[in-house]
Chain A
């Protein structure tokens, strides 16, 4: 102990072997990477490689054909609209679940996840039955001159259905974590209830709300099962982009299908980056871990 520091009688030994405290790093990471590559990355790369067989002009012709462009407009337009509707009503629903007590609350809280768990084909035929002319909801809309099933509006309804839990489940935990004292502080400083919501609550919830919006949008753009039953699938009117891929495939136009898939994939990757950024922002704003 009294042989103090610095000048040591021992020559400095070379670096000792690194022993990891917890085992299995190489094995698990290696397996993860291999499995990921085999099942996801290499197959996805196939899409880009297949597309590369096309010249740029051919690629452009496929992905900008009028029928395909009409499908983008429908898919992206309705997805944005559905995500916006979900942002508004999803926030209200999350608010109600966190802030109010009412009978059946637990049941409703549990059922919010239904669109995650319900097979999309089931949702598709159920929504179609509801909104058809003689359906429970359709029969009331018909006299008003509103047709939902087999029209672009039907696409919107299906996309609202599948996107709802994304917004609710992203916003809800943030609302739950909100400290009531924040609003008490705002009130004690003279803020009206509306002001407190606008200036205190909304800024805290906003990143999460935007994340939920982006998640709902991303899911909606790629959605297939719940939409095709209710959409009617009329060329130029109510065909969604994923359906265009299927149509091309059924005609054995693999390159055509792949070209459209490339466009969608690039959009998906971009959205994924945006969502990651948003989640990091949420985490920063609220001090929560992702």
Chain B
């Protein structure tokens, strides 16, 4: 299900005239071209571009001072800290999982492999609200482990551990899903060659496998990070919305918005939007790099 989100590493970006425009049979008449291009771009502008611009415009509507005040508000800072903490825990957990899953799935044959891939995809297709709900059912006051946790004075729901769990759940498949197709496409001949030459398992992974998937891995990491920091539905269910304690940045946006502090809400939102833009920027840079490496090599060969 994550197929749509994965990195496109081997398509050389087509700049300038495309190969399709250069050929008579695939060239559209100007009317068709401008009509379809115009419709597509209008749709893009209305549905994607305008919301993005709106965030920054609304954030600065009351001026820089209000903007900065909203950002250095103690509640905002505590929300930022919690958001960073949740991401800092979820990221390495899912990284280790992603690498393990991709190694097992891409380099070995076993029964039920396709089923396993489907299971790894599960969190994508589950509503984030349900992702929060499951942990309430397990660890909430009325949940399976609720009484035991209360007895031992451990709080998971409406506390930081619950937020981390929900974050891990919703970002669960990203790294695995980024790595699996890459490592499958790579085959295992290079690893076999390394082993024949005497490399140990870790050496093989470190010197042969990792360099070949590093860009995909990096993208998986930044995407996981973006989703972890931006998660709203799942975290909303388990957080309890305690200001200064269990509020993450997206939840803080909601609270401000519901209190009609629109400029402040958008100011905090603009931070998250910046994070998204940086994520996309890194992604584009990686793809660009890969496409160029691809081209250079092919030019070097001829």
Contact = CB atoms under 8 A, between A and B. Distances in A.
Q: Direct contact between A and B in the complex (CB less than 8 angstroms)?
A: yes
Contacts of B266: 125-126, 129
Nearest to A242: B129
Given A93-B44, A99-B26, A187-B25, A22 B204 contact: yes
Interface residues of B, number: 120
B269 A126 contact: yes
Contact of B257 (A212, A229, A273): A229
A44 B126 contact: yes
B244 interface: no
A115 B137 CA distance: 30
B253 A121 contact: yes
Contact of B133 (A173, A193, A258): A258
B136 A254 contact: yes
A93 B46 CA distance: 13
A56 interface: no
A249 interface: yes
A46 B280 contact: no
Given A28-B104, A32-B101, A46-B137, A106 B40 contact: no
A245 B130 contact: yes
Interface stretch (B12-20, B70-78, B148-156, B293-301): B12-20
A160 B47 contact: yes
A126 B18 contact: no
A33 B100 CA distance: 10
A227 B3 CA distance: 24
A119 B37 CA distance: 28
B86 interface: no
Interface string B135-147: 1111010101000
B41 A46 contact: no
B212 interface: no
B134 A43 contact: yes
Contacts of A231: none
A65 interface: no
Chain A interface size band reads 35 or more
A220 to B, nearest CB: 10
B50 A215 contact: no
A25 B108 CA distance: 7
| Dominant SS among interface residues on chain B | helix
Contacts of B206: none
Given A100-B37, A180-B23, A225-B232, A272 B125 contact: yes
Given A99-B21, A126-B54, A223 B269 contact: no
A281 interface: no
Contacts of A29: 100, 104, 108, 110
Contacts of A111: 44, 48-49, 52, 280
Contacts of A196: 25
B63 to A, nearest CB: 17
Given A169-B4, A242-B127, A99 B20 contact: yes
Contacts of A187: 24-25
B223 A161 contact: no
B5 A115 contact: no
B44 to A, nearest CB: 6
A258 B137 contact: yes
8 contacts: A43-B135, A44-B134, A117-B275, A136-B50, A136-B54, A161-B48, A176-B11, A275-B1
Interface of A: 20-25, 27-29, 31-33, 35-36, 39-44, 46-47, 50, 89, 92-93, 95-96, 98-102, 105-106, 108-123, 125-127, 129-130, 136-137, 157, 160-161, 164-166, 169-170, 172-173, 176, 180, 183-184, 186-188, 193, 196, 211-212, 215, 218-219, 221-225, 229, 242-243, 245-246, 249, 252, 254, 257-258, 261, 264-265, 268-269, 271-273, 275-276, 279, 289-290
Interface of B: 1, 3-5, 8, 11, 13-21, 23-26, 28-29, 32-33, 36-37, 39-41, 43-44, 46-52, 54-55, 58, 96-97, 99-101, 103-105, 107-108, 110, 114, 116, 118-130, 133-138, 140, 142, 144, 165, 168-169, 172, 181, 184-185, 188, 191-192, 195, 200-201, 204-205, 223, 226-227, 229-233, 236-237, 249-251, 253-254, 257, 262, 265-266, 269, 272-273, 275-277, 279-281, 283-284
